[in-house]
A and B are shown apart, each in its own frame.
Chain A
Amino acid sequence: MDNKTQPATNREHQSKWTLRNIILIALIAIFTGIIFWGAGFLYTALTVVLTPIGAAPFANDLLMGLWCMAGPLTGFVVRTFGSAFVGEFLGAAVEVFLGGQWGAGAFISGLVQGIGSELGFAFTGYKRYDWVGLNASIFTTVVVTFAWDMIKNGYNKFGIPLLLALFVTRYISTFIFGGVLTKMIVRLLDRSNAFSL
């Protein structure tokens, strides 16, 4: 540990695009990207199991919350316009550079997920860093990403019941990872005073 004391304690929350915050957002995005990378086998395994019954899209929707975690996290840590978008996009970019199975698709997904995540914070005016703000972000994330998958992954050609099931699955996943898990992480950070950056 460095000799100097953590400069984090008890300071007014900065919400600016400083060099430090940019690096912070990028680091969090890379950390989450690497952690998901370790969970990548899960997607492949789920797909293998679900493909024979034609239910492979559920793998996508089950894990959607995980892939959309960098946004809410960076949005909460650096409370300013654009931080959730940049965090989510960079998180996706990490997957591309690690050699993920989505290639350029991950860039686009990152853009879409980033917009979804950011919109929620925008709707609450970057003022509600609580359940309201988080739920707004979850809602916009689910709606935006689902709309995107209607086009990109051909969900629009599915029947209503299947669509509904996929939507609900995605909502639950996003609620658990982007909501409950994010909230638990934020609470730990709060209690350790790490937030007074």
Chain B
Amino acid sequence: MTDVLIDHFTYEYPGSTVKVLNDVDVTFKHNHFSLLTGPSGSGKSTLLYFIAGLYPHFIGNDALGGIKFGDTDIKQIPSNEISHSVAMMFQNPNQQFAMDTVIHELTFVLENMLVEPAKMDGIINHALAFCGIKQLRSRVINTLSGGEKQRVALACIVAMDPPVIVLDEPFASIDPDSRLDLIKKLKQLQVEHGKTIILADHDLNDYKGVIDEFYYLDPDTHHISLLDSQSAQHFFDNFKNTQTINKQVAIPTEAAPSIINIKDFKLQPHHSLLLKLGDFKFCKEKTTLITGANGIGKSTLFNALTKLLPYDGEIDFAGKNIQKIRPLPYAKNVTLLFQDAENQFLNITVKEELDLSLKNRTNQAYSIDDVQTMLKELSIDGRDDQVVYSLSEGQKKKLQIIEMLIMNPPVLLMDEPFKGLDYHSLEVVVGFLNRSKQEFHQTQIIISHQLSGLDTLIDYHANFADQNLTYQEVIK
């Protein structure tokens, strides 16, 4: 029996006084599938890293309270045996492999676990077959899609065969088929192989009927509570609501003026076709929403639009082939709001960041007073000297949005701009974006899973599916 007992567990980050986990006292039951949810940045990952035995080693300060696997305190397990008790799957599929190919990574894992070489082939074949990826055996990991990489990560865990498996938002960047398939595989591991599964996710799709327990980490109290089926249902319903709006939008007419035109376009990184477009346009001074499943290629399309990735065919901006526009002017005309706010930062303090935007903006649309008002409305004013990297994820996102609005590029691409924002902040940001569009003639193209609250902003809706991008009248 390996219940995972979290015993009066309290933790604060080094140098912080906020208890990110406050007297957490829960038991993740043996041979159950537990889902842990809560807003991003609330401390779910931190708890999982402690359960996986990676913290405190990799963070430096310890927590109060304890973690037990059954009767064994995690601290009594020697470091070279911990992986026999628990294995972890990470959020970022890119930085979780040491080796070049799938087969090399699997042997690396087994060598670490001191498995006899003669037994390895059998274990590896079984793990690959279980995960349905026998054909990936000799592939170079860097050339795999996000979904394939997470399947390889699961194969590693299957090969390791520990009783407890923890997963930290493992599906954040993978396609829905892979997601559903991996959730099924996890269920199979639980039911047929007696594994204890603890999975953190804020996306609640596909878990209904699969999970045994639903835990919620409250971002205000920093407590974790086990929800009864009624409250769990409430969460599932709520989540569904954030992903829908009831709105009919028009389909752009032939005559609607365009700003970006895509012709005979093919996007195929690593030779797998993501998108093929004969003729497509984004309309000028409008907000276009792009929807579509995770990992399908939406962000990759943005990478092509910003010349970060090669593509076949032609993209025109204001009638000119973007390959013929010099890098700096182009970047200031067609600007991307990166999904990861830190990618956008170039300076150290909040004031330096804002000053940089004020210095380099394309026009004077926003006054200094405007900037102060915006900061206030998103309640991140008065932080002039704070180091941007020490802001919370939500604060980083708010600062990033404001500094990119100040730049006021004619075309602003936004990749999940509302991720990590509470609903009130989202409404404020939508107001900002509407002003940018109406007063300053900005064209906006948004990738977002969060849909509720965007009614007043969206003019057109393009759906990304089956390697195609098509305008639609309904948003769902």
**Residues of chain A at the chain B interface (Cβ within 8 Å):** 1-7, 9-12, 20, 188, 191-194
A1 touching B342 in the complex, CB below 8 Å, given contacts A7-B58, A10-B15 = yes
Stretch at the interface among B39-47, B102-110, B177-185, B361-369: B39-47
Q: Which of A3, A9, A12, A194 lies in contact with B91, CB distance below 8 A?
A: A3
CB distance from B336 to the nearest CB of A (A): 16
Provide the bound-state CA to CA distance between A6 and B396, in Å. 13
Closest A residue, CB atoms, query B388: A192
Q: Does B148 contact A (CB under 8 A)?
A: no
* A residues near B61, Cβ cutoff 8 Å: 11
Q: Which of B14, B168, B200 lies in contact with A9, CB distance below 8 A?
A: B14
* A residues near B426, Cβ cutoff 8 Å: none
B328-368 with Cβ < 8 A to chain A: 340-342, 348-349
Chain A interface helix/strand/loop/mixed? loop
Residue-wise interface mask of B (18-57) relative to A, using a CB-CB cutoff of 8 A (1 in contact, 0 not): 0010000000000000000000110011100100000000
Closest B residue, CB atoms, query A12: B60
Closest B residue, CB atoms, query A4: B45
Of the A-B pairs whose beta carbons lie under 8 Å apart in the complex, a sample of 15, sorted by A's number, is A2-B45, A3-B40, A3-B200, A4-B46, A4-B49, A5-B13, A7-B59, A7-B60, A11-B14, A11-B15, A191-B387, A192-B387, A192-B389, A193-B387, A194-B389
* B residues near A194, Cβ cutoff 8 Å: 389
Provide the bound-state CA to CA distance between A148 and B178, in Å. 56
CB distance from A97 to the nearest CB of B (A): 13
Residue-wise interface mask of B (91-126) relative to A, using a CB-CB cutoff of 8 A (1 in contact, 0 not): 110000000000000000000000000000000000
A9 touching B342 in the complex, CB below 8 Å, given contacts A3-B40, A3-B45, A191-B348 = no
Provide the bound-state CA to CA distance between A41 and B261, in Å. 34
Inter-subunit contact A193/B389 (CB<8 Å): yes
* A residues near B45, Cβ cutoff 8 Å: 2-4
Inter-subunit contact A2/B58 (CB<8 Å): no
* A residues near B348, Cβ cutoff 8 Å: 188, 191-192
Inter-subunit contact A6/B389 (CB<8 Å): yes
* A residues near B387, Cβ cutoff 8 Å: 191-193
Inter-subunit contact A1/B389 (CB<8 Å): no
B300-345 with Cβ < 8 A to chain A: 340-342
Provide the bound-state CA to CA distance between A11 and B58, in Å. 11
* A residues near B169, Cβ cutoff 8 Å: 3
Provide the bound-state CA to CA distance between A193 and B386, in Å. 11
Inter-subunit contact B58/A9 (CB<8 Å): no
Inter-subunit contact B389/A3 (CB<8 Å): no
CB distance from B405 to the nearest CB of A (A): 21
* B residues near A193, Cβ cutoff 8 Å: 387, 389-390
